[in-house]
Amino acid sequence: MANKLDLADAQFIGFSHGRGSKDDIIGLVSSMGLTEKEYIKLKAEYSTYYLTESDYDEIDEYFANKNKII
C-alpha cells in the first residue's frame, strides 16, 4: 500500500515527465517500469479517466508487441 511519500514521488515523476519530456505515453509507461499485469490491474481497479481511448490503444499495442517472440 502506498504511503504519502510514495504518492508524492508519483506526483513529482508525473510533473517532471509532463514538463519537458518529448516522450509519448509509451515513454511514460516504459520509464515507470509498468508491467502488463500491473496495467491490466490498473485498468480494472482504478479510475483512469485521464487516459484517452487513444492512450489505451497505444499501451495495449505496446504490450502486445513487447510480448511477441522475435
Summarised one tens digit per residue, pLDDT across range 49-68 is 778 898 899 999 999 998 77
Q: How far is CA 35 from CA 11, 19, 20, 21, 61, in A?
A: 19, 24, 24, 21, 13
% of residues, the chain, pLDDT over 70: 87
| 61 against 69, higher pLDDT | 61
pLDDT tens across 14-42, in order?
777 666 555 688 888 887 888 999 999 98
- Which pLDDT does position 58 carry in this prediction? 92
Instruction: Confirm whether pTM is higher than 0.75.
Output: no
Q: Taking the domains of the chain in order of start, what are their residue ranges?
A: 23-70
